[in-house]
Amino acid sequence: MVRVRFAPSPTGYLHVGGARTALFNYLFARKEGGQFILRIEDTDIERSKKEYEERLIEALSWLGLDWDEMYRQSERIKLYQETAEKLVREGKAYYVYAYPEEIEKTREKLLQAGKPPHYNQDLLKEFDTPERRKEYEKKGLRPAIFFKFNQKEYSFHDLIKGNITFKEGTIGDFALLRSNGMPTYNFAVVVDDADMQITHVIRGDDHLSNTLRQLAIYEALKVPPPKFAHVSMILGPDGSKLSKRHGATSVEEFRSRGILPQALVNYLALLGWSHPEGKEIISLQEMIEAFSLERVSDRPAIFDIEKLRWMNSVYIRSLPDDEYLKLAKPFLESTGMRCEDEKLLKIINTVKDRIRELSEIPELVEYFFKRPQVKVKFEENEREALKQIIESLKNTEWNKKEIVKAFRKPMKEHGVKSKEFFHKLRIALTGREEGVELDVLIEILGFEEFQKRIEETLIS
């Protein structure tokens, strides 16, 4: 059975690159009838934070990517320690009684001597003295455990990148366990992927070079490695790796701007993958049905915020009224714009076709809640017509049809030119040059508000 995992380190918010990795794993698992595992890689105790873990989980749930099993590496330390000890017993790894600074110094010395900075057991042996062992014992420290890297060429077939070969002599021995008992990233990943019976590792190609160390560890553990699929990076419009510099990059930021999860998922799916029929607006179900790793490109994808915003506008337009209202409400309430649901829906519907992010709504509909501070000069005949319009609106049924009707006669009687008049009226009522049709606007404002706004803006 296909088993894949998304393995974020809780050291920051969920980046769109991470979200795309999660999505590809999820789609592949669902397509193959397999399982999708969430593994929190929190062994870097200094950088990992519970808060980040919670936010990661929240962001993944918001995207709708549900997982079948969840693990935390910090709860599996014993397994890493036991596995490392086993490798020591088998002669495939060894204890190192050196402090990190000493290990670093050894590296510098090698570099100074013009040698490649590769560790080996002989080099690190110098620290293993009886005094040092005693000192470690007294301080309650454990020796680090280093892996004896088997010097040879390693190669594998990547499902996206094709055949990859790592030449002999590019790395030396490396740590599996630190002296604080924590595993290194490469070791924990292999122990877990093996233990969790992961069949496919789909991850960013920034991890491609780590695959060498991981292959060597699989070999030492006598476990066949999973299949690998390294997805190319997401770049900003300038061709450099997508980062804060390019604007919003975390899932949370997009969420808070009012990008819908369906739109973000749809957009991310197309960053590196394409639908066999070239479809652009695709539901999660359709993605699952059509997903394959063969259609994942080996070239980097460019993040195009305008395309995401366009896609979001398509999803916003297709929202049913109640959903749209529910999603838009917090954006309005946070800026103090409140009224009863029925009216609020009418208000937000005036901009539904225009917005690309829900966060654009408050600015666009502000005038419904706040009278515009404007003065408008109406001509004598226009003022007369307005008086009559107000009179007849006062006694009419309040709907668009009657509102339109109430304008006709007075305008005709006073010879009012509609284009100019309506333009002035719009400014008087909204303070803006353009926007929703006047009849819709007046209907939403209601009679009293309409009258008030006219009277307050009139200058004779």
Q: One-letter amino acid identity for 384?
A: E
Edge-to-edge strand list for the sheet holding 35-40: 69-72, 35-40, 3-6, 200-204, 227-231, 154-158, 162-166
Q: Applying CB under 6 A, does 9 fall inside the site for ligand GLU?
A: yes
Please report how close the Cβ of residue 7 comes to ligand GLU at its closest, in angstroms: 4
Please report how close the Cβ of residue 49 comes to ligand GLU at its closest, in angstroms: 14
Region near ligand GLU per CB under 6 A, out of 4-12, 141-149, 157-165, 334-342:
4-12
Edge-to-edge strand list for the sheet holding 174-177: 93-96, 144-147, 174-177
d(CA 70, CA 50): 15
Which of positions 29-48 make contact with ligand GLU (CB under 6 A)? 41
Q: Considering the complex, state which of residue 30 and residue 203 has its C-beta at the smaller distance from ligand GLU.
A: 203
Q: How far is CA 401 from CA 397, 406, 407, 438, in A?
A: 9, 9, 10, 12
d(CA 27, CA 34): 10
Which of positions 134-193 make contact with ligand GLU (CB under 6 A)? 189
Q: Applying CB under 6 A, does 7 fall inside the site for ligand GLU?
A: yes
Q: Applying CB under 6 A, does 19 fall inside the site for ligand GLU?
A: no
Q: How far is CA 63 from CA 26, 146, 303, in A?
A: 11, 40, 18
Catalytic, 401? Answer no
Strands 227-231 and 174-177: unpaired
d(CA 214, CA 203): 14
Q: What's the gap between Cα 142 and its chain centre?
A: 39
| Active-site annotation holder among 50, 109, 167, 244 | 244
Please report how close the Cβ of residue 303 comes to ligand GLU at its closest, in angstroms: 18
Nearest partner of 439 among 417, 406, 412, judged by Cα? 406
Q: Applying CB under 6 A, does 207 fall inside the site for ligand GLU?
A: yes
Q: Considering the complex, state which of residue 41 and residue 53 has its C-beta at the smaller distance from ligand GLU.
A: 41
Please report how close the Cβ of residue 41 comes to ligand GLU at its closest, in angstroms: 4
Region near ligand GLU per CB under 6 A, out of 3-11, 116-124, 324-332, 389-397:
3-11
Strands 35-40 and 458-459: unpaired
Which of positions 39-98 make contact with ligand GLU (CB under 6 A)? 41
From candidates 30, 76, 92, 203, binder to ligand GLU by CB under 6 A: 203
Region near ligand GLU per CB under 6 A, out of 2-10, 118-126, 329-337, 425-433:
2-10
Please report how close the Cβ of residue 50 comes to ligand GLU at its closest, in angstroms: 16
Region near ligand GLU per CB under 6 A, out of 7-15, 105-113, 255-263, 340-348:
7-15
Strands 227-231 and 93-96: unpaired
Size of interface with ligand GLU, in residues (CB under 6 A) = 7
Nearest partner of 267 among 419, 275, 72, judged by Cα? 275
Region near ligand GLU per CB under 6 A, out of 1-9, 267-275, 282-290, 372-380:
1-9
Please report how close the Cβ of residue 225 comes to ligand GLU at its closest, in angstroms: 12
Nearest partner of 213 among 73, 119, 77, 116, judged by Cα? 119
Binding-site ranges for ligand GLU (CB under 6 A): 7-9, 41, 189, 203, 207
The residues annotated as belonging to the active site are: 244
